[in-house]
Amino acid sequence: MASILLSSPSKLHAQQTNRGPIDSSFLQRQTRVPSGFIWPEADLVAADEELDEPLIDLKGFFKGDGVAIENAAKLIRASCLSHGFFQVTNHGVDTSLIKLADDHLDQFFNLPVSEKLRVKRVPGSPWGYSGSHADRFSTKLPWKETLSFGFHDNGSEKVVADFFKSKLGDSFKETGKVYQKYCEAMKSLALSIMELLAITLGVKRLHYKEFFEDAHSIMRCNYYPTCQEPSLSLGTGPHCDPTSLTILHQDQVGGLEVFVNNKWQSVRPIQGALVINIGDTFTALSNGLYKSCLHRASVNAVKERRSLAFFLCPKDDKVVKPPEELVTEVGTRKYPDFTWAKLLGFTQNHYRADESTLQQFSKFTQSESKSVN
C-alpha cells in the first residue's frame, strides 16, 4: 500500500468541486458509490473469521486480587505481543453513561449539515466535525462522519463541556456534560490499563500511569451511514492508531476488523465490553515490544454503525521514550525520542495515518533534525 507523504498541507485539500459538503444525507442520496469513495482492491479483501482476542474481566484487578491480576496480565501480554487488541468487562464505566454518549452521538449527527459545519474541523487540527475528510483527501474517502474533541483534566476547566457549549450553544450543553463525564471515565480506565500494561512488561507498576496522569487525549465519535455498495468502500481505512491506547465502544452492528496472520479478522461486538488496542506511541513506549496493529472499519448496506473512540495521548511536549529496563531487554532503542505534538502534527499536516505512520515519522523527524544541524 503506497504511503502518502504529502509535501505540503495544500496537497491535503481535495480539489474544490461543486458537490457541496459531504455528510450522511449526501452519501445516502447517491445511487452508486462516488469514485472518490472507492478503495483499492487490496484494502477491500473481506474478513472471513473472528479475532480470538481475550475478554478480560477487570473485577479482580479493581479488587486488588493478586491471582486475578496475574491471570489478566498473562492474557494481556500475549495479545499485546501479537496484535495488541483485547476486550474488557467489569471496566467500571457506567453502562448508562455509555448509553447517553451513544444517544448524544445521534443528536449531533442528525443535525442539518449547516449546523454540523459550525464546528467544522480546522485544517491542521484533529478537533471538530468532518464529513469523510473530504476537505483533506481526494481519494480513498472514508464512508463516515466524525466529531473529534480534546480532553484533559489537569486544570479546573471542563474542556469538553466548554467545547460543546461554546461551539454549539445551550442546546448542546447537556451533550457537553455527557461527553465530559464520558471522557473522565475513559481516562480513569485508561490509567488502570496503563498500570496493567506496566505489570505485563515487568516495569515499575506506576511508570506509565504517572506518564499519562496529565494526558491530553482525543475523543472521537464515528458515525458510519449505510452504504449502497459496501464491498467498494470503507468506513475507516486500514491504519494503526498513532496514539497510545484506544478505548473503543462499538455498537452491536459489527465492522471493526484487525489484520492478523495475514488476514482480516472481525472483532465481535460484546454487549457491555470495551475494545482496547495499543497505538503507535505505546509501541515506542514499550521499545517495540507491544504491537500497534493494522485495523479498519467496514460498512454495510443494512445498518448504520456508531463507535466512540477515546485515544489516550501524552501531554504535547512530553518526551516519548521507553523505560531503561526495556532498552536493556531488547538490547537497543527501536525508535528515536519524540513528542506526541510532533507525531500528531505529522498526521494532521503531512501524512495520512496508515500502517507505516511510525516508520515514516521516524524518517521524517530524522531528516528534519539533519536539515536543522
Ligand X SMILES: C=C1C[C@]23C[C@H]1CC[C@H]2[C@]1(C)CCC[C@@](C)(C(=O)O)[C@H]1[C@@H]3C(=O)O
Ligand Y SMILES: O=C(O)CCC(=O)C(=O)O
Binding site for ligand X (CB under 6 A): 126, 133, 142, 218, 220, 236-237, 239, 241-243, 311, 344, 347, 352-353
How many Cβ atoms sit within 10 Å of the Cβ of residue 71?
16
245 binds, among ligand X, Fe ion, ligand Y, none (CB under 5 to 8 A by kind): none
For 103, the grid coordinates are 444517544
Which residues within the stretch 180-239 sit at the binding site for ligand Y (CB under 6 A)? Answer: 220, 222, 236
Q: Which of 135, 145, 153, 241 binds Fe ion (CB under 5 A)?
A: 241
Report d(CA 281, CA 347) in Å as an integer.
13
What is the DSSP code string of 18-81?
A: TT----HHHHHH-SS--GGGPPPGGG-PPP-EE----EEE-HHHHHT-HHHHHHHHHHHHHHHH
Q: Is 283 in the site for ligand Y (CB under 6 A)?
A: no
- Among the listed residues 77, 121, 136, 305, the single catalytic one is 305
Report d(CA 256, CA 239) in Å as an integer.
12
For residue 279, the one-letter residue type is G
Which residues within the stretch 247-266 sit at the binding site for ligand Y (CB under 6 A)? Answer: 248, 250, 255-256
222 binds, among Fe ion, ligand X, ligand Y, none (CB under 5 to 8 A by kind): ligand Y
Task: Give how many residues touch ligand Y by CB under 6 A.
Answer: 12
Q: Which is nearer to Fe ion, 104 or 295 (CB)?
A: 295
Which residues within the stretch 306-345 sit at the binding site for ligand Y (CB under 6 A)? Answer: 307, 309
Report d(CA 363, CA 331) in Å as an integer.
21
Provide, rounded to whole angstroms, the least separation between the CB of residue 257 and ligand Y.
Answer: 8
Stretch of residues binding Fe ion (CB under 5 A), selected from 41-49, 78-86, 208-216, 238-246: 238-246
CB 252 within 8 A of CB 59: no
How many Cβ atoms sit within 10 Å of the Cβ of residue 84?
27
Provide, rounded to whole angstroms, the least separation between the CB of residue 148 and ligand X.
Answer: 7
Report d(CA 292, CA 83) in Å as an integer.
7
Q: Is 295 in the site for ligand Y (CB under 6 A)?
A: yes
Q: Is 297 in the site for ligand Y (CB under 6 A)?
A: yes
283 binds, among ligand X, ligand Y, Fe ion, none (CB under 5 to 8 A by kind): none
Q: Which of 241, 320, 340, 343 binds ligand Y (CB under 6 A)?
A: 241
176 binds, among ligand Y, Fe ion, ligand X, none (CB under 5 to 8 A by kind): none
Report d(CA 27, CA 72) in Å as an integer.
43
CA distances from 39 to 11, 43, 55 (A): 19, 7, 32
243 binds, among Fe ion, ligand X, ligand Y, none (CB under 5 to 8 A by kind): ligand X
Q: Which is nearer to Fe ion, 161 or 343 (CB)?
A: 343
Report d(CA 353, CA 365) in Å as an integer.
16
344 binds, among ligand X, ligand Y, Fe ion, none (CB under 5 to 8 A by kind): ligand X
Give the helix/strand (H/E) hosting 363.
helix 357-372
CB 220 within 8 A of CB 146: yes
Give catalytic status of residue 305 as yes or no: yes
Give the gyration radius of the chain's Cα atoms. 20
Q: Is 240 in the site for ligand Y (CB under 6 A)?
A: no
Q: Which is nearer to ligand Y, 242 or 323 (CB)?
A: 242
User: Annotated active-site positions, please?
Assistant: 305
Contact residues for ligand Y (CB under 6 A)? 220, 222, 236, 241, 248, 250, 255-256, 295, 297, 307, 309
Contact residues for Fe ion (CB under 5 A)? 241
